[in-house]
Amino acid sequence: MALDGNADQSFSRRAMRAELLDAETELRLAYAWRDERDEQALHRLITAYMRLAVSMAAKFRRYGAPMNDLIQEASLGLMKAADKFDPDRGVRFSTYAVWWIKASIQDHVMRNWSMVRTGSTSSQKSLFFNMRRVQAQIEREASARGETLDGHQLRQRIATEVGVSLADVEMMEGRLSGSDFSLNATQSSDEEGREWIDALEDEGRQADAVVEQRHDTETLRGWLVEALAALNERERFIVRERKLREAPRTLESLGHELGLSKERVRQLEAAAFVKMRKSLEGRSREVHQFLV
């Protein structure tokens, strides 16, 4: 039931002209839908109370959501209420539907208020929709007593009144202070101005650290190439397979391939490391640690 800017006004007027149901008719329609899944009864029940949905949607316009979106969310809440309503409980449908309509609208407002999730618990939702009212009431009462509250005292009393933590009040105060801003927006009216994202600190490594590490890595690689060149072909093969592979091979597998015992492969490996240490002597501790 998508509505545009003009259609929602027409829809609202039609909703206000819908029939008013007496308790007996309402009950009969509710039973017809629950027991017989009579869609005509459901449609009549929903249409009759659409004025309630529109009226409640209008109360949330101050949160900045388009009225047509609020009406659609209110309608969804009304339909959920009609689907779940149990006429045997002895309450009027309007009384039951109010809760579903309000919950649907509130969820929509909170989902669209900010890209950051505004509230997830019932107490945080209550704080979102009541914080300004509670704050105004506390300020009026303090003023009547001739009392002046600083920001911390005011937030503390709001937390006590609503039954939430001080941290929740501080978080919600930030959420309600304004809408989201794009990091790609320019810092001035000049289109050539710097974007806000350019002012964020770069948490990556700085260029000098990258260059230094690259230089050290290249130097280390050169030293290792020289050290490996001092080995014979079989020793180089053992060192490569044991130390330079992503998944090092076992002494047993190398011995099987070379036709040697596991102990002999270990001896050749140890001898190769001794040769490499001599080649690298006095060059770098990092290379010696690699060979340990």
Write down the architecture of domain 7-113 according to CATH.
Up-down Bundle (1.20)
Is 177 or 74 the better-scoring residue by pLDDT?
74
Confidence bin at 76 (pLDDT 50/70/90): very high
Q: Note the pLDDT tens digit of each residue in 133-145.
A: 888 888 888 888 8
Q: Note the pLDDT tens digit of each residue in 189-241.
A: 555 666 656 666 666 666 777 777 787 788 778 878 888 888 888 988 998 88
Confidence bin at 243 (pLDDT 50/70/90): confident
Confidence bin at 116 (pLDDT 50/70/90): very low
Confidence bin at 160 (pLDDT 50/70/90): confident
CATH number of the domain located at residue range(s) 207-291 in this protein: 1.10.10.10
Domain ranges for the chain, please list them.
7-113, 122-176, 207-291
Task: Give Cα 175 distance to the centre of its chain.
Answer: 15
Structure tokens that stand for 104 in this block: 């649907």
Is 109 or 267 the better-scoring residue by pLDDT?
267
Q: How far apart are CA 255 and CA 242, in angstroms?
A: 12
- Say which amino acid occupies 51: R
- By the 8 A CB rule, do 74 and 6 touch? no
Q: Note the pLDDT tens digit of each residue in 273-289.
A: 888 888 777 665 554 55
CA 249 to each of CA 191, 232, 236, 246, 254: distance values in angstroms, whole numbers, following the listed order? 60, 19, 14, 9, 7
Which residues touch 108 (CB under 8 Å, ≥6 apart)? 65, 69, 70, 73
Task: Give Cα 255 distance to the centre of its chain.
Answer: 55
